[in-house]
Amino acid sequence: MQPRRPPPPAPGPPRPAAPLLALPLLLLAVQGAAAPTGPEAAEWRPDTGPPHGLLRQAARAALHFLNFRAGSPSALRVLAAVQEGRARINAKKECTVDLVFTTEHYNSEEGEERLGKCSARVFFRNQKPRPAVNVTCARLMEKTKRQQEDYRLYKQMKQLRNPLDGVSIPDSHGHIDPSLRPVWELAFLGSSYVMWEKTTRFLHYYMAQLSGVKQWETNDGAIDFDYTVLLHEFSTQEIIPCRIHLVWSPGKPLTVKYHCQELLAPEDASGTEEGSAVAPTELSNF
Amino acid sequence: MKWILFFGALIGPSICGREKFFGDQVFRINVRGGDEISKLSQLLNSDNFKLDVWKSPSTFSHPVDVLVPSVSLQPVKSFLKSQALQYSVTIEDLQIYHEMDNIAGEFPDLARRLKIGHSFENRSLYVLKFSTAEGKRRPAVWLNAGIHSREWISQATAIWTARKIVSDYGKDPAITSILEKMDIFLLPVANPDGYVYTQTKNRLWRKTRSLNSRSPCIGADPNRNWNSSFAGAGTSNNPCSEVYHGPHANSEVEVKSVVDFIQQHGNFKCFIDLHSYSQLLMYPYGYTVNKAPDAEELDEVARCAAKALASLSGTKYQVGPICTTVYPASGSSTDWAYDNGIKYAFTFELRDTGHYGFLLPANQIIPTAEETWLGLKTIMEHVRDHLY
């Protein structure tokens, strides 16, 4: 591993403040920017309900946000099923979605079927990204176990030898070498922040593949690594490369800096997106 | 000429039953004399590598084509290098075509491989026709796969299904009775140029590889290029976009070839397009939220099929019309089929729901194909019982 060069200055829009709630023993509450109030115009008729796609969209946004803020690569969650939901849309086409959904472990290869229940309020500002999320989930993994798993992953990362350059994770056939599995999970954690930020009322993302992984030495023992993630964007079907820089230590806040490229030809508005965040310390106590 | 017979005897087992079709490569090995031939036969004779001779030479100066399974690539390369044998690696997508040829060869009374056209880069478009009544123009089912090249589970499922059809005919009452009434046409690689590109240059390539006259960007989305609300919602007129509809409907020769074939045939009753990913089973329309006239029946059939699919491993599929289930998409194959009189038109989005996405692990190919087969059979049984 090489010593880290001084990072370039991180540009990007200012982050909203993120007030925290007290943590009850069994529930984790994570709150993003508060949703503004305003006159609520249209609500979906009770007989039809909001489009199912909207509820899933809200669930995805909530989960990306939750995963990032929880900051634990061994306790990542994915959507199992949306159970119920309501939505309101106001005159400015801003959309508030309240929903209840179940989640599963992202990392479970052993086929464990534990489901965690979450409730969330997600606020989409018409077509703008960075939906405001307020999400509460029942704990899915016992705290000690989670800390142990995080630490195990941390040790595996520290034992990896560069160069990981030129390695694609997974490979073309979907195979991830067991020694590289921690890289994938940590990358998913960092990418969750990016995917949350980029999600809009109409666009959502999945992680397609990683490449260009480079790990740096640190003085304080943190994991510090750069990678390129290819995000698959729905519904445009575009593949968006994002360069991500992640710093993580078990039990400590996660730092993410990123730079994504939009690759359409000049006649479309193309540009780059950048952002960075640090997850608050207090959340690591759950 | 003894060695020619020897090579002939080495034309080994077909590649069916193996989990991995991909990553295998065809080596073209030059043999220029007796010494090289004996070195080569040493290699081919070895049980360890499971090599399959595709093309044995008729004279000394022609090369030998050998299919090398991906697990054997390294050792075989090392051997060739150590013996100073010259070789080159040929185009990788041919293993599906070779398997199609095998199937047609092994079951000549049931399956035939037909060429229906060629791609932009001049690769053949091959279809397998399954028929128990050659010469009659029976009502037919079209199974389309691999139109988006990065969706590898689609091509893999298709070729597994081909093998399944010929193996189960005469044994499984469902497929037997289906084939007594209808013909099945299967196009496993609807976009061969894209498919080769995903194997050689960019695993996540989706479109065709046609050149655009006024843009450096390549390819059009072949599933936005059909003549059904062409250039409507859910498409782009930017050649660099992944959903670029192309300069005009049927501009992509891969699409036009299928359209021409189906229209000339004139008796198709069912059209199924296999994609990935998302685990969805959908029916028209993609180009509008308006309900298709047969939406209720199609919804019921789709639900039945999804239930049959789930019965194997619990894999859950969502069912609904394309536009509201996934997103608006105009110029799609399924909408075109429906608007051209093919009532039973469906699109599958196969496994998974985003964990691996396009890069579905190879060990999920057979489970996916097996469960999908249950869904396909359900649909085809309904068509068989509701011919119009």
Count CB-CB contacts under 10 A for residue A215: 21
Which of B275, B270, B286 minimizes the C-alpha distance to B320?
B286
Q: A172, B203: Cβ pair inside 8 Å? A: yes
Please, which residues have CB within 8 angstroms of residue A109's CB and are 6 or more apart in sequence?
none
Name which of B33, B156, B135, B169 is nearest B93 in CA terms: B156
Nearest to A265 among B215, B359, B362 (CB): B215
Ranked by mean pLDDT, the top range of A71-85, B94-108, B239-253 is B239-253
pLDDT of residue A272: 56
Whether the pTM exceeds 0.90: the reply is no
Q: What is the pLDDT of residue A7?
A: 39
Under DSSP, the state recorded for A285 is G
Helical segments of chain B, H only: 2-9, 34-45, 73-82, 94-106, 152-168, 173-181, 192-200, 253-265, 295-313, 322-325, 333-339, 365-385
CA distance B24 to chain A (A): 12
Do the Cβ atoms of B207 and B111 come closer than 8 Å? no
Of B204, B243, B362, the CB nearest to A236: B243
pLDDT: which is higher, A200 or B50: A200
Query: Phi and psi at residue B303, in whole multiples of 5°?
Result: -65, -40
DSSP string, B281-327: EEES-SS-SSPPTTHHHHHHHHHHHHHHHHHHH----EEEEHHHHT-
Please indicate whether residue B24 or residue A197 has the higher confidence score (pLDDT): A197
Rounded-to-integer distance, Cα B364 and Cα B23, Å:
16
Catalytic site includes residue B349: yes
The predicted-structure confidence for B117-151, as pLDDT tens digits, reads as follows: 999 999 999 999 999 998 889 999 999 999 999 99
User: What local confidence, expressed as pLDDT, does residue B336 receive?
Assistant: 98
Tokens of A15: 């982050």
Token duo for residue A229: 């993630």
Angle at A213 between CA A211 and CA A217, to 5 degrees: 175
User: A47 touching B, CB under 8 A?
Assistant: no
% of chain B beyond a pLDDT of 70: 87
Shortest alpha-carbon distance between residue B276 and chain A (Å): 12
Among the partner residues B23, B325, B357, nearest to A206 by beta-carbon distance: B357
Contact assignment for A234 to B325 by CB distance below 8 Å: no
Q: Which of B221, B238, B328 sits opposite A265 (nearest CB)?
A: B238
Are residues B238 and A172, on separate chains, in Cβ contact within 8 Å? no
**In angstroms, what separates the C-alpha of A71 from chain B's closest C-alpha?**
19
Which residues does chain B have within 8 Å of residue A172's beta carbon, measured at their own beta carbons?
A: 22-23, 198-199, 203, 359
CB nearest A208 (choices: B204, B238, B240): B204
Query: Considering only CA atoms, which of A135, A100, A141, A99 is closest in space to residue A117?
Result: A100
Contact in structure between B245 and B230 (CB atoms under 8 Å): yes
Q: What is the DSSP string of A118-140?
A: EEEEEEE-TT-SS-EEEEEEE--
All residues at 6 or more sequence positions from B3 whose CB lies less than 8 Å from its CB, including other chains: B37, B41
| For B324, nearest residue in chain A (alpha carbons) | A53
Which of helix, strand or coil describes residue A86? strand
Measured CA to CA, the distance from residue B375 to residue A275 in angstroms comes to 44
Distance CA A12, CA A6 (A): 18
Q: What pLDDT was estimated at residue A113?
A: 66
**Residue B81 banded pLDDT, cuts 50, 70, 90:** confident
Residue A6, pLDDT score: 41
Instruction: Residue B234: list chain A partners with CB under 8 A.
Output: 235
For residue B153, pLDDT beyond 50:
yes
Alpha helix segments (H runs only) across A100-247: 143-159, 181-198
In 3D space, the residue among B157, B147, B326 whose CA is nearest the CA of residue B233 turns out to be B326
- Minimal-distance CA residue of chain A relative to B206: A237
Q: Which position among B36, B252, B254, B349 bears the catalytic label?
A: B349
Stretch 65-94 of chain A: residues touching chain B, C-beta under 8 Å: 78
Q: Which two tokens stand for residue A184?
A: 């994938």
Interface size A-B, in CB pairs within 8 Å, comes to: 75
Q: Which residues pair with B350 in a beta bridge?
A: B276
DSSP-derived secondary structure letter, A261:
E
Q: Pick from B221, B238, B354: which is nearest to A264 by CB? A: B238
Nearest CA in chain A to B24: A173
Read off φ and ψ for residue B97, nearest 5 degrees. -65, -35
Six token digits for residue A259: 């730079």
A109 touches chain B (CB under 8 A): no
DSSP string covering B176-209, please? HHHHHH-EEEEES-S-HHHHHHHHHT-TT--S--
Among A105, A172, A228, the strongest candidate for a mutation testing the B interface, having the largest count of B CBs within 10 A, is A172
For B183-192, how does the pLDDT look when each residue is reduced to its tens digit (9 = 90+)?
A: 999 999 999 9
Nearest residue to A197 (alpha-carbon basis) of A251, A140, A242, A264? A242
Q: How far apart are CA A61 and CA A196, in angstroms?
A: 6
pLDDT tens digits, residue range B353-385?
A: 999 999 999 999 999 999 999 999 999 999 999
Chain A residues near residue B325 by CB distance under 8 angstroms: 53
What was the pLDDT predicted at A188?
97
Please, which residues bridge with residue A88 across strands?
A43, A96
Query: Taking CB atoms and an 8 Å limit, are B359 and A170 in contact across chains?
Result: yes
User: Please, which residues bridge with residue B321 across strands?
Assistant: B283
Taking contacts as CB-CB distances below 8 angstroms, the residues of chain A near B355 are 78, 106
| B9 contacts: CB under 8 Å, gap ≥ 6 | none
pLDDT at residue A9 in the model: 37
Can you read off the two tokens belonging to residue B254?
A: 């891969």
* pLDDT at position A43: 55
Residues in chain A: 286
Element (H, E) at A64: helix A52-70
Partner-chain contact B355 A170, CB within 8 Å: no
Distance from chain centroid for Cα B82: 37
**Pairing verdict, β B140-145 and B87-89:** unpaired
pLDDT at B162: 98
Tell me, yes or no, if A230 comes closer than 8 A to chain B by beta carbon. Answer: yes
Lowest-pLDDT choice from A245-254, B214-223, B306-315 = A245-254
Put simply, whether A235 touches B (Cβ < 8 Å) is yes
Q: How confident is the model at residue B217 (pLDDT cuts 50, 70, 90)?
A: very high
Both tokens of A136, joined, read 């509460």
Using left for φ > 0, alpha for ψ between -120 and 50, and beta otherwise, residue A209 falls in: beta
Which pLDDT score, from 0 to 100, does residue B85 have? 79
The two tokens of residue B169 are 């005919």
Per the DSSP assignment, residues forming a β-bridge with A120 are: A99, A135
Tokens coding A54: 């909207």
Name the residue in chain A with its Cα closest to that of B19: A173
Interface test with A, best of B356, B363, B364, B366 (most A CBs within 10 A): B356
Give the C-alpha distances (Å, rounded to integers) separating B373 from A134, B157, B278, B376, B380. Answer: 42, 9, 17, 5, 10
pLDDT tens per residue, chain A (286 residues)? 444 444 333 333 433 333 333 333 333 445 444 444 444 445 554 445 667 789 999 999 999 999 999 999 999 999 999 999 999 999 998 999 999 999 999 876 555 667 789 999 999 998 899 999 999 999 878 889 999 999 999 999 999 877 787 889 999 999 999 999 999 999 999 999 999 999 999 999 999 999 999 999 899 999 999 999 999 999 999 999 999 999 999 988 899 999 999 766 444 443 456 677 766 543 332 2
Provide the angle, in degrees to the nearest 10, between the axes of the packed helices B152-168 and B173-181: 90
